[in-house]
Amino acid sequence: MTENARMNVESFNLDHTKVAAPYLRLADRKQLPAGDVIVKYDVRFAQPNVAHLEMPVIHSLEHLFAEKSRDHSDRVVDFSPMGCQTGFYLILQGEHTVEEVADLVEATLRDVATADAVPAANEVQCGWGANHTLEGAQEAARAFLDRRGEWLTVFADGSAEPAA
């Protein structure tokens, strides 16, 4: 990444060698032409380029979080996995503090940890219904929850924002 070469995709401008997972980070904010605001949060489970989540874990977390988060908020637009397999993007409608989003993530992951099944994990409702692991998703959720006190510290230097 060169110093002046800004990319169109926000995460491509993030120095992944300086972050310390797990964390929750405001990744983007867009005001739409009609005035609505959508925000995208980086919910990072695994340290980039060091660890990753296996695909059945990601798939099950995606199903569980997408379903359970809507029990806590009517502002959830989407919960999408990152291609690098280290986390997810949580997209919400409207303005929120990062603490409010952390509370939503915590409440949802507590639901995941006690779920008795992965929602829609079948051939009718899912494009790869056999590719799920409730146990793996719950293990990842519990590991993330166990480090709740670290979520708002994004960078290895202990800050929430990159060093200037």
Q: How would you write the pLDDT of the chain (164 residues) with one tens digit per residue?
A: 556 689 998 899 999 999 999 999 999 999 999 999 999 999 999 999 999 999 999 999 999 999 999 999 999 999 999 999 999 999 999 999 999 999 999 999 999 999 999 999 999 999 999 999 999 999 999 999 999 999 999 999 988 887 76
* Domain residue ranges of the chain, discontinuous segments joined by +: 11-148
Q: How far, in Å, CA of 37 to CA of 34, rounded? A: 9
Residue 162's pLDDT is 79
Q: How far, in Å, CA of 34 to CA of 136, rounded? A: 41
Closest among 147, 134, 163 to 44, alpha carbons compared: 147
Residue 5's pLDDT is 83
Alpha helix segments (H runs only) across the chain: 55-69, 98-113, 134-146
The two three-digit tokens of residue 105, written as one number = 């993530």
Hey, what long-range contacts does 27-35 have (CB within 8 A, 24 or more apart)?
Answer: 27/89
Domain 11-148 has what CATH class?
A: alpha beta
**pTM as predicted:** 0.94
